[in-house]
Amino acid sequence: MTIVTKTAEPVVTRISGPIVTAVGMYAAQMYEVVQVGSLGLVGEVVRLVGDYATIQVYEDTTMLKPGAPVRCTGAPLSVWLGPGLVGSIYDGIQRPLPGIEARSGAWIRRGEKVDPLDTEKRWTFEPLISSGEMVTAGQAIGLVVETPLVNHRIMTPPDISGTVRSIVDKGDYGLLDPLAVIETATGPREVTMLQRWPVRVPRPISERLRITEPLITGQRIIDTFFPIGKGGAAAIPGGFGTGKTITQHQLAKWSDAEIIVFIGCGERGNEMTDVLREFPELKDPRSGRPLMERTILIANTSNMPVAAREVSIYTGITLAEYYRDMGFSVAVFADSTSRWAEALRELAARLEEMPAEEGFPASLPTRLAQFYERGGAVTTLAGEQASVSIVGAVSPPGGDFSEPVTQHTRRFIRCFWALDTELANARHYPSIHWLHSYSEYVEDVASWWKKEAPDWIDLRTEALTLLQREDRLQQIVKLVGPDVLPDGQRLILFIAEIIKDGFLAQSAFDENDMYCTPERQVMLLRIILTLYRRGRDLIQGGVPLARIRSLGCVPHLLRAKTAFGNRELEKLTELEGRIMEETETLAKEYAKEATPICTPLLT
């Protein structure tokens, strides 16, 4: 329904789901936040044509009527940045869900407004500078202990630099209390703990760096076979039930990033419930403290307003950039970018934009690039090295990787962890397929691995080659069976099964197997390949494969990933020695059996 009206005050003229048209918006600007209706529903201007503005409303527009007032705020959609973010749970536009629950109960009331941060809470501020010093943009002027795991640096905003006129002493202050006065070229400026930043604008950096260090996740198929660098971008595509969310949960729990930002973007409510229940109970593997003490959660489930889903990933990446500017390594997990793209498609349809592939807007590649390219390893404005790593889940319908979201995502990421339905059905987790996945960070992180394990690249190459050869041999086996293959090729099938079951498969419920250090990963793979090399030599010497399969060390090798923990590397060394000993004994035994008995000639 459309109403044509002449009025000096902005009013609603048309409503189409979350898209609202208003007239009298001559003073509005693009991406300005507005308040729609008597409840003040939060919206954002996404199109301006003359006196008309198209507004994307981030709340439910039910019961909104034409003629409802619209109030401009004069500011873009921004997030609050300051102490108190870590450990918080927000919706897509940074409304704290616990605070909303306290006011409106289990259901979010329309127009509900709660400050993202508690402005009444007092934080102990410790200054790092003194009066008369010169400060630059992004420099830390003081510290606040936000959690036992996070020392929050109070930084000068990116547009402030100059001489410190005054700064407060150590003490307890609120978010809005002036901490310092800095004399700038345009006059004195006050600095508080609270900053605001537009979510669609990347925070500035000094320099973008080359990625050289891997993001250690404790998952063997990722760290050893398809590593991601700190500051890298990766995608986890997979059909329904392949374990995308569980894999991201594992990465969020165990990755060695200092700050975790988990964005539940359009996923089912029960999955986010699992996150909200598990994370407060999980212990950080390095400190033993609760994992929530270094985690920020953004929950925008599939039953929440679709427009807020579109902006939720920008909210998450802006919070990540803020902690990156303090010098932290941050990991962002978005689950899932397909649901985010579906929100773009719905909004584009209501905006009457020309559809492209499968109805997605033509701007989909650009929007994906704007998200993934905000990650990276950087030098901050303060001169510190930090990073934002991004891992996005993709949910292609039917597991079809040729659909637009997956294909466009591959253009902007360098690490692709392809989940496989057959592996998931076989309860092989993580169900990342070793032949369909790839990582372009291998050469970037090779120097780091060379210090930790000089033979990592050789072991990785040899194992992947075995798995590729096994895949080709399986095609023959399906036609004629394994018995027609020579023992040398059947050995490849045997070792490949050990690699898949004893190395790649990993249990999230086993205390020894849920997290594997890089040292133990390399030792496990080295032991398996030691058996392969020794077995290959034995077969070339005439030993049948059946004798190798019956060695006493083989069952222990299959159980090594769960039998020995990260601090029991000496037991893995003993297992490797046992493999060497048993294969040597078998070689001598068979050589003795194969030696012909020579009878001297009688003369």
Residues 112-132: tens digit of each pLDDT: 889 999 999 999 999 999 999
Does 601 score more than 60 pLDDT? no
Q: What angle do CA 235, 239, 242 make, to 5 degrees?
A: 85
Q: Is 282 a member of any domain?
A: yes
Q: Is 104 a member of any domain?
A: no
Domain count, the chain: 4
Phi-psi region of 244 (alpha: psi -120 to 50; beta: other; left: phi over 0): alpha
The CATH number of the domain where 583 resides is what? Answer: 1.10.1140.10
Residues 494 and 558 in one domain: yes
Q: Is 299 a member of any domain?
A: yes
Query: What was the pLDDT predicted at 427?
Result: 92
> Which two tokens mark 556?
């222990």
Residues 330 and 403 in one domain: yes
pTM score above 0.85: yes
Confidence class for position 74, pLDDT limits 50, 70, 90: very high
The CATH number of the domain where 187 resides is what? Answer: 2.40.50.100
Residues 336 and 425 in one domain: yes
Helix axes 364-372, 337-350, angle to 10 degrees: 140
Question: Could you tell me whether strands 438-439 and 295-300 are parallel, antiparallel, or unpaired per DSSP bridges?
Answer: unpaired
Taking the C-alpha atoms of 10, 16, 17 and 18 in order, what is their torsion angle to the nearest 10 degrees?
Answer: -40
Does 6 score more than 70 pLDDT? no
Q: What angle do CA 154, 155, 159 make, to 5 degrees?
A: 150
Three-class SS state of 475: helix
Does 402 score more than 90 pLDDT? yes
Task: Mention every residue, 6+ apart, whose C-beta is less than 8 A from residue 41.
Answer: 35, 57, 58, 59, 60, 61, 64, 110, 111
Residues 30 and 56 in one domain: yes
Give percent of the chain above pLDDT 90: 79
Residues 35 and 144 in one domain: no
Residues 67-106 as b/e (b if ≥16 CB within 10 A, e otherwise) read: ebbbebeeebbbbbbbbbbbbbbbbbbbbbbebbeeeeee
Q: Is 201 a member of any domain?
A: no
Task: Mention every residue, 6+ apart, whose C-beta is less than 8 A from residue 585.
Answer: none
Confidence class for position 2, pLDDT limits 50, 70, 90: very low
Residues 345-383: tens digit of each pLDDT: 999 999 989 899 999 999 999 999 999 999 999 999 999
Query: What was the pLDDT predicted at 595?
Result: 56
Q: Is 92 a member of any domain?
A: no
Residues 126 and 245 in one domain: no
Residues 272 and 387 in one domain: yes
Residues 214 and 337 in one domain: yes
Q: Is 27 a member of any domain?
A: yes
Q: Are 364 and 394 in contact (CB under 8 A)?
A: no
Residues 432 and 565 in one domain: no
Query: What was the pLDDT predicted at 603?
Result: 41
Query: What was the pLDDT predicted at 306?
Result: 87
Residues 261 and 181 in one domain: no
Confidence class for position 5, pLDDT limits 50, 70, 90: very low
Q: Is 244 a member of any domain?
A: yes
**Any idea which of 63-72, 378-387, 456-465, 584-593 has the lowest mean pLDDT?**
584-593
Could you count the other beta carbons within 10 Å of the beta carbon of residue 27? 11
Residues 431 and 481 in one domain: no
Average pLDDT, the chain: 92
The CATH number of the domain where 413 resides is what? Answer: 3.40.50.300
Residues 231 and 312 in one domain: yes
For 415, the domain range is 207-447
Query: What was the pLDDT predicted at 518?
Result: 95
Q: Are 49 and 56 in contact (CB under 8 A)?
A: no
Q: Is 346 a member of any domain?
A: yes
